[in-house]
Chains A and B, each alone.
Chain A
Amino acid sequence: MSIAPDLPTVFLWVLAAVLFGVAVVKGEGRLGEAFKATSKLLGMVVFRLPLALMLAGFLSQVMPSDLVGSSIGAETGLSGVVIASVVGGLVPSGPFVSFPIALTLFKSGAGMPQLIAFISGWGIFALHRILIYEWPLMGLRFTALRFAASGLVPPLTGLLAMALMEVY
């Protein structure tokens, strides 16, 4: 990554500055609370983020990029979207693992619609979440119902992205 501020970084700075302003104007100790929440989050991230970045680095060396390109590359269309949805759903972890994986796939030649399907698949199915939270807390019927109702969603997001990119 370069030192020169790119568009995403500028956007994040502007967003942070605007929210800072809102917190100042609204007052009532909001600013202090905001910094407290930030440091709490930072404490959580500071150990995990370097690990996540290392994970992405190592993965990029291990991941067979020709396989990525041929299975979920931009030209694989619907089949790539479906594969990416399923693979995304099988990632059994939080964003600190799934996003480095997504980044590695991105760098190894995954297409944008396929990557969107991957992230949707992870968000919707994430196996560990179903096993740890959803099934025990909400019951099998609810889990099965949600699975059935949102099963088509990850491929659909990929297909919509494909359609959107055609239009552009």
Chain B
Amino acid sequence: MLTPGGPMLSFPLVLALKAAGANTPALITYLTSWALLGVHRVVMWEIPLFGTEFAVVRYLVSLPMPILAGLITTALIARMKPVT
């Protein structure tokens, strides 16, 4: 969420986090958060183009999503394990 910059910055970081032992749900939570809640994007694009109200509503409804995606990942992995 606080990582500014485009994908050439965030994906190498995710790769480094993975190498450092971060688990998959945490990485997916991070990526979802980066995709939805990047503060730089809100300030640079959304507030000037669509106004403060739009930016606030979009941010509010996106807040729970990274955690949700992480939880779904955990559930998916738990389901996959017995099969593979």
Chain A min CB distance to B43 (Å): 7
Nearest opposing residue in chain A for B60, CB measure: A164
A83 contacts the other chain (CB 8 A): no
Judging by beta carbons under 8 Å apart, are A124 and B32 in contact? yes
Docked complex Cα distance between A157 and B36 (Å): 10
Chain B min CB distance to A54 (Å): 15
Q: Which residues of B contact A8 (CB under 8 A)?
A: 47-48, 51-52, 55
Judging by beta carbons under 8 Å apart, are B6 and A137 in contact? no
Chain B min CB distance to A137 (Å): 5
For the complex, count residues of A whose C-beta is within 8 A of B. 42
Judging by beta carbons under 8 Å apart, are B57 and A150 in contact? no
Within 8 A of A (CB), among B25-58: 27-28, 31-32, 35-36, 38, 41, 43-52, 54-55, 57-58
Judging by beta carbons under 8 Å apart, are A15 and B15 in contact? no
Question: For the complex, would chain B's binding face be called helix, strand, loop or mixed by DSSP majority?
Answer: helix
Docked complex Cα distance between A103 and B45 (Å): 10
Judging by beta carbons under 8 Å apart, are B52 and A7 in contact? yes
Given contacts A120-B62, A124-B35, A138-B18, contact A146 B47 (CB under 8 A): no
Instruction: Tell me the A residues contacting B by CB distance below 8 Å.
Output: 6-9, 11-12, 15, 94-95, 99, 102-103, 106, 112, 115-116, 119-120, 123-124, 126, 129, 132-134, 137-138, 142, 145-146, 148-150, 152-153, 156-158, 160-161, 164-165
Instruction: Tell me the B residues contacting A by CB distance below 8 Å.
Output: 6-8, 11-12, 14-15, 18, 24, 27-28, 31-32, 35-36, 38, 41, 43-52, 54-55, 57-58, 60-62, 65, 68-70, 72-73, 76-77
* Given A145-B77, A150-B65; 6 other pairs, CB 8 A cutoff: A7-B52, A99-B46, A115-B54, A138-B11, A145-B24, A150-B72
